[in-house]
A and B are shown apart, each in its own frame.
Chain A
């Protein structure tokens, strides 16, 4: 019975979600939204919220890399952009609903333009990765250079290295006098992750998602079947950009603060590490990856032992050289083998047509 769920963790394909899967989602939602907030204090909820905020970024990455086969090193570009767009527009406009939407839509528009050039330029895999990284680096540098008082958008100073403090909390759209407090941000981020997870899962079961996986498997064959792979890749790139932008917006709301580190190399590497540790070709894995790495870095911070970058570097090298499939698929495959009826003895298996 359970093996179907585990299969979802190891290799979710274009299959339609089953009843068991929906029950699983509902159970997890109940756990996170009803049970957990009752048992945890505000400080713990605050720590936990950021895991879900960053999980959106991880989902964006695994959707793009694991399912569409495009390894973007620059999802942090859209993450940072989302945060800055929300901060600057919310501080200028005084409301937060429109800025929240802008924090998603503007990164999508940016992804559309960038994606047009690098997807339609038919940049090969590797060049694609490097170009996305370069774009992030340059954005990071540009934002860092805005410390002077002449760099002002509306009434807001961009602040360069120092970032922008005092990013407004999110107002309830129908009641602007009320703003989301720590628990509100927690609920919102959990709901957004669940919606994004279910949405991506359904998108992958749709025609669009199946063709996308086909592009990852064999782009030439997809084209010979009559699909224009570039349109699908661009679509995936824009969706992923929007998701990363949403994550950045939520990050700004969560911390009431944004800084150029959002675009930084370390953040960009972390995104890769979450997904590689969790398993790139699953949607659950990267969320688990975020939790693990976030816990690890926080713990290292409190212990005061050495540099976080040093440890991240070791984790990344080890992940690439030693366990390539990622943690969740490895565990999933193990559970699958333990619970699933054995098919190896199937006498028809080797039959030729």
Chain B
């Protein structure tokens, strides 16, 4: 087994004339907790969608765990152990929270083990107060938690999180950050985030996207000091 869990080579996604992802070479080591940052429209979500097969790349190659997954259908990539939380809550609105988690856990577990797994996730994320209600009726933040729970219930080896703390209170953000650090003990994580506090709390290496390209890749302190990064992205934001 190699040390590299995921890499992309010359990955390009074109929408009409726009290069949403532009010749991206991305490497991720096993066990990393990587943050992706970049202004809106920098291509971070597109990049995630390419990695999970939700949209096909125009050209380039994606390798996960030594396997070429470039043109694999979404469900087979998921089976290899990639879990994703999309930017907006992407859950089963008509089902209860428990049913949502069950569908996630059931894929990799037998029935009884799936129930245990669901209970464990509920306890770990403290979902009990609203777990039996229909997810469509829940608040935005609660739906986010359900979705994070679904990703966890599958116990993937790589977790992709697109803005997990969006719409959460400050206290919840701290909890989310701690949760990610805890999860990182057993799996590799890539997080797209805007909140610098959050990033500073969890990240080791940060990758900066700009106009579909990777602009920088460096430890978080270095990134915060980098004038060019500040220019394209942080300049408009209070750097704490």
User: Taking beta carbons and an 8 Å cutoff, which residues of A are in contact with B?
Assistant: 13-14, 207, 210-211, 213-214, 216-218, 220-229, 348-349, 351-353
Complex interface residues of chain B between 128 and 180 (CB less than 8 A to chain A): 129-130, 133, 139, 141-142, 145, 150, 154, 169, 172
Is B79 located at the chain interface by the 8 A CB criterion? yes
Contact among A207, A217, A224, A348 with B74 in the assembled complex (CB-CB below 8 Å): A224
User: Known contacts A214-B103, A217-B94, A218-B92: does B73 contact A224 (CB below 8 Å)?
Assistant: no
Residues of A within 8 A of B79 (CB): 226
**Partner among A13, A213, A214, A348 whose Cβ is within 8 Å of the Cβ of B129:** A348
* Interchain nearest-CB distance for A163 vs B (Å): 42
Task: Please provide the 5 A-B residue pairs with the shortest distance between their CB atoms, ordered closest to farther.
Answer: A217-B92, A226-B78, A351-B129, A226-B79, A223-B74
Interface centre among A13, A221, A228 (most CB of B within 10 A): A221
Cβ B145 vs Cβ A223 within 8 A: no
Tell me if B26 is interfacial: C-beta within 8 Å of chain A.
no
Which residues does chain A contribute within 8 Å of B75, judged by CB atoms? Answer: 223-229
Contact between A218 and B129 (Cβ–Cβ < 8 Å)? no
Most buried by B among A211, A221, A353: A353
Q: CA–CA, A226 to B72, complex, Å?
A: 12
The answer to whether B106 touches A210, judged by C-beta atoms less than 8 angstroms apart, is yes
A14, A216, A225: the one within 8 Å of B104 (CB): A225
**Contact of A225 with B150 at beta-carbon distance under 8 Å, contacts A207-B111, A353-B126, A353-B145 already known:** yes
Which chain A residue shows the least CB distance to B139? A352
Given A221-B90, A224-B74, A352 and B142 contact (CB-CB distance below 8 Å): yes
A181 CA / B108 CA spacing, docked (Å): 51
Collect the chain B residues with CB atoms within 8 Å of residue A353's CB.
125-127, 129-130, 142, 145, 172
Encoded as 1 (CB less than 8 Å from any A CB) or 0, chain B from 48 to 73 comes to: 00001010000000000000000001
The reply to whether the CB of B91 lies closer than 8 angstroms to some CB of chain A is: yes
Bound complex: CA A351 to CA B138 (Å): 11
Name the CB-closest residue of A to B95: A217
Interface residues of B in 77-93 (CB under 8 A from A): 78-79, 83-84, 90-93
Q: How far is the CB of A326 from chain B (nearest CB, A)?
A: 16
Across-interface contacts of B145 in A (CB, < 8 A): 353
- Give A221 Cβ to nearest chain B Cβ, in Å: 5
Chain B positions within 8 Å of A221 at CB level: 90-92, 150
Tell me how far the C-beta of A210 lies from the nearest C-beta in chain B, rounded to whole angstroms: 6
Q: Give CA–CA (A220, B89) in the complex, Å.
A: 12
* Interchain nearest-CB distance for A159 vs B (Å): 46
Min CB–CB distance A35 → chain B (angstroms): 37
